[in-house]
Structures are given as C-alpha cells and as structure tokens.
C-alpha cells in the first residue's frame, strides 16, 4: 500500500524494520537508511522480504531531501537520534512527506528536551498539507495513548497521572544503558521536574524516590524524572491537577552513574585530549555495551503504564493501564531486548495509523490528540498487550 523510509539502524530501527516487514499489506516497500550502511544491510539480511538500504548523514537536511526525492516514500520514520529531528523534519517539509519520530529534539550542546522547536513547524506543515506525529514510542507514545484512552472511556476529569516505567530485567553487565547511552545519560542526569496546579516544580536529579508496586513484577525503587510527554499531556488532559513521571533504577546502576558523573565522564562540553577535542559522554558511549547487543542475555520483564486518579459520573475512580513485556520473548521474535521492542512496535503502529488514514491531520501532533481506540487494538495485535487494573494507586 505505501513505501516508507526508516532512518536509523540501531536497537529501535532493527525492531521497526522487522515489525513493518510483518505487515506487508500496509508497508508494501521499505527503505532503511542510516549513517553506517553495514548496520542496515545486517538488518536486511535477517528478514525474508527484500528491502532497500542506503547511507545517509541525517544531520544534513539536503542529503535527507535527496534520499526522499530518490525513493518518494509516503512517510519518513525517524529512529535515529533526537539531534536529527529538525534536519529530517526540514527535509520532509521541503519534499512534502509525512514525518514520525519517537523522541523530541535536543540541541547537542545542551541536555534540554522540549517540544518548542518541533511545535514551531506546525503552521508550515499545515500549509504544506503534511502531518508530523511526535513521540510514537512507548514513553512518550503509548503512555500518551493510555491517557487519551482513559480520558475517552473511564473519566470525566483526570486529576492525577503518574507515569511509571519499570525495567526489572537483568542483562548481566555491571553497567549498560537500554537505549543510546548518550541520550539516556543526558536524560537522567538533568534536573527532575513535574507539573502541579498549573506550574512546573523542579527538583535535584534523582532526589525523590518512592517504592512502587508494579503488576507482575513487584515493588521497585522508582525515581521522579522529567520526561517529555508531560509537556504535551498538560495541554490535552481535562481537569489535570498533577502529572509526574517515575523510572526504576537499581543501586548498582546508580552507583556507577554517580562515579561516572563525579569523574567527569558524563560531561557534554568538549575537553582537550592529546591535541583532539573530545566529548567525555560520547567517548563513554564508545566503551559501553551497545544497547542492541544486550538482548542475547537479557532476562526478566518491563512494566510501563499510567496510574490515574479522577472522577467519573461524580464518583472517584483510581486505576492503572499498563503493559508487561518480556526481554527474552522479544529477543526470540526480533533479536532485540524489551526496551527497543517497546519503542519500535509503537513506531510501526503510529506509522500504520497514518498510512491507513485512521490518524490524519495537517500540522504537527502529539499522540494523545488522536482517537486512541485503533492504536490500542493494534497494541494487542502486534505484541504489546495491555491490561486495566481497577483500584490501583501509586502506594506500594
């Protein structure tokens, strides 16, 4: 039915390509492009359908435009890094091609993620008659859709939302990150932030901890972080009084992170080393395990969801909507661990929503702005089944 161009051949790109290949009635032709073409070729060799592979430097909007002109895809799925969001959006605008990503733009020299740079494209996308869907991973992504679903079916007003993200898996390495180490460490070393009574409250990194009882996993230490879906959800959820985001971290992970920070290895400013300028965090990425390689030994589960507290027909209602995903099962299906899987599957489903016309619009959109029902149906169909737990609260 439609040709897609997927940019990025890392942990998430591998899953997106393999899941799109499973749905040929929608993704009739697939082009995979990345900075290192050999990684695209490796993924291509692992699927039975033929796909086209290309080399591209997606920091350069002109290169991306030429690639789009060459292949004429209907949609570009961006699963490279957040730094490439703007050049790829620019190329989509120049060629009037639909756009989708899983993470919002960050400038390289400042660990700050905000939607303002991408939302600024709204009017130009609307005038060009094309659509950009932002944050179609799990969190952001599925968590936004869980909120839209709760708002549509279970609540008149949602007063409190806690997004909870637990990885209870063990990969056997003393220290590794589950997605791109540079992006991951930038995210968790910046100040935490949540939204309450109409304003943002900032906290020191990892300074608020709570033991949360995760369904099918059990209690885990969870830390309050800032996460990008909070910024769009405060605009779109009715009656909201507070929204927060929590993520689990083990003691071993936090000890390693503290040491790396204390010795300066998480710095993102250039330092002089033997006549070269290097960025310590980029060097650290080069010596840490590749997240895509963790799947071989990964055991255990992830549990990610939203805990809601609000009102329906004048009565208080508390509940959780969540998914549990098993690392080893993901590896058996697509050769990836669950963090890549839970990001790649929603990217495929978001693209499917756009190509089937179930989600359509001209401009730049976040996930919760569309009807959640067809997306929720496809989560069950394509490997991320979800459950509702009535009466669930945040307390252990």
Ligand X SMILES: NC(=O)c1ccc[n+]([C@@H]2O[C@H](COP(=O)([O-])OP(=O)(O)OC[C@H]3O[C@@H](n4cnc5c(N)ncnc54)[C@H](OP(=O)(O)O)[C@@H]3O)[C@@H](O)[C@H]2O)c1
Name the residues that contact ligand X, by CB under 6 A: 8-13, 34-36, 39, 56-59, 79-82, 84, 102-103, 135, 137-141, 179-180, 183, 291-292, 339, 343
- Closest to ligand X by CB, 151 vs 177, is 177
Whether 211 contacts 220, CB under 8 Å: yes
- The two three-digit tokens of residue 14, written as one number: 């591998």
Chain mean position to CA 358: 21
Smallest distance from ligand X to CB 314, Å: 35
Angle between helix 229-236 and helix 142-153 axes, rounded to 10 deg: 20
Beta carbon nearer to ligand X, 291 or 383: 291
Question: To the nearest whole angstrom, how small is the minimum distance from the Cβ of residue 304 to ligand X?
Answer: 8
Nearest Cα to Cα of residue 243 among 232, 254, 258 = 232
Which one, 288 or 362, has the nearer CB to ligand X?
288
Nearer to ligand X, 155 or 338 (CB): 338
| Host H or E run for residue 186 | helix 181-189
Of 80 and 376, CB closest to ligand X = 80
Measure the CA–CA gap between 384 and 323, rounded to whole angstroms: 6
Other beta carbons within 10 Å of 201: 13
CB of 53 to ligand X, least distance (A): 12
Residues 6+ apart with CB under 8 A from 366: 115, 134, 135, 140, 144, 229, 232, 236
Cα separation, 206 vs 35, in Å, equals 34
Cβ closest to ligand X, residue 257 vs residue 304: 304
Residue nearest to ligand X (CB): 10
Query: In whole angstroms, how close is the CB of 238 to ligand X at the nearest point?
Result: 24
At closest approach, how far in Å is the CB of 190 from ligand X?
14
SS3 labels along 259-274: HHHHCCCCCCCCEEEC
Task: Please provide the size of the chain in residues.
Answer: 396
Collect all residues with Cβ–Cβ distance below 8 Å to 303 and sequence separation of at least 6: 164, 166, 168, 214, 215, 216, 217, 322, 323, 324, 325
Tokens matching residue 285: 């990425």
CB of 24 to ligand X, least distance (A): 23
Nearer to ligand X, 67 or 131 (CB): 67
Shortest CB 329 distance to ligand X, Å: 18
Q: Is 198 exposed, middle or buried (0-12, 13-18, 19+ CB in 10 A)?
A: exposed
Contact yes or no for 314/357 (Cβ under 8 A): no
CB of 145 to ligand X, least distance (A): 12
In terms of CB distance, is 33 or 130 closer to ligand X?
33
Minimum distance of ligand X from residue 198's CB (angstroms):
26
Cβ neighbours of 283 (radius 10 Å): 14
Query: Among residues 155 and 178, whose Cβ is nearest to ligand X?
Result: 178
């Amino acid at each position: 039915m439609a040709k897609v161009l997927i940019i990025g051949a890392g942990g998430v790109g591998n899953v997106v390509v393999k899941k799109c290949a499973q749905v040929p009635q929608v993704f009739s032709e697939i082009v995979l492009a990345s900075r290192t073409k050999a990684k695209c070729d490796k993924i291509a060799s692992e699927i039975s359908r033929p796909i086209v592979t290309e080399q591209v430097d997606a920091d350069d909007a002109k290169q991306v435009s030429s690639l789009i002109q060459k292949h004429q895809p209907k949609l570009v799925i961006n699963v490279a890094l957040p730094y490439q969001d703007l050049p790829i959006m620019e190329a989509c605008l120049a060629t009037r091609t639909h756009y989708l990503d899983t993470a919002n733009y960050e400038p390289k020299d400042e660990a700050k993620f905000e939607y303002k740079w991408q939302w600024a494209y709204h009017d130009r996308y609307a005038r060009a008659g094309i659509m950009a869907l932002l944050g179609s991973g799990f969190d952001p992504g599925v968590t936004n859709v869980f909120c839209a679903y709760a708002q549509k079916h279970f609540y008149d007003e949602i007063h409190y939302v806690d997004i909870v993200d637990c990885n209870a898996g063990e990969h056997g390495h003393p220290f590794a990150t589950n997605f791109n180490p540079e992006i991951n460490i930038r995210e968790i070393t910046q100040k935490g932030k949540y939204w309450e009574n109409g304003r943002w409250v900032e906290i020191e990194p990892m300074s608020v901890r709570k033991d949360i009882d995760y369904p099918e996993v059990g209690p885990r230490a969870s830390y309050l972080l800032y996460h990008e879906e909070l910024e769009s959800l405060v605009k779109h959820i009715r009656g909201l009084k507070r929204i927060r985001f929590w993520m689990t971290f083990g003691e071993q992970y936090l000890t390693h992170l503290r040491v790396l920070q204390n010795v300066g290895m998480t710095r993102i400013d250039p330092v002089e080393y033997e006549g070269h300028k290097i960025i310590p965090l980029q060097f650290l990425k080069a010596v840490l395990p590749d997240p895509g390689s963790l799947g071989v030994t990964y055991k255990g589960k992830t549990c990610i969801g939203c805990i809601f507290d609000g009102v329906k027909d004048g009565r208080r209602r508390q509940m959780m909507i969540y998914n549990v995903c098993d690392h080893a099962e993901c590896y058996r299906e697509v050769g990836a661990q669950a963090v890549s899987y839970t990001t790649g599957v929603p990217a495929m489903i978001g693209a499917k929503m756009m190509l089937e016309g179930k989600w359509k619009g001209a401009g730049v959109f976040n996930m919760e702005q569309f009807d959640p029902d067809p997306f929720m149906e496809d989560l069950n169909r394509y490997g991320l089944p979800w459950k509702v737990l009535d009466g669930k609260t945040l307390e252990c």
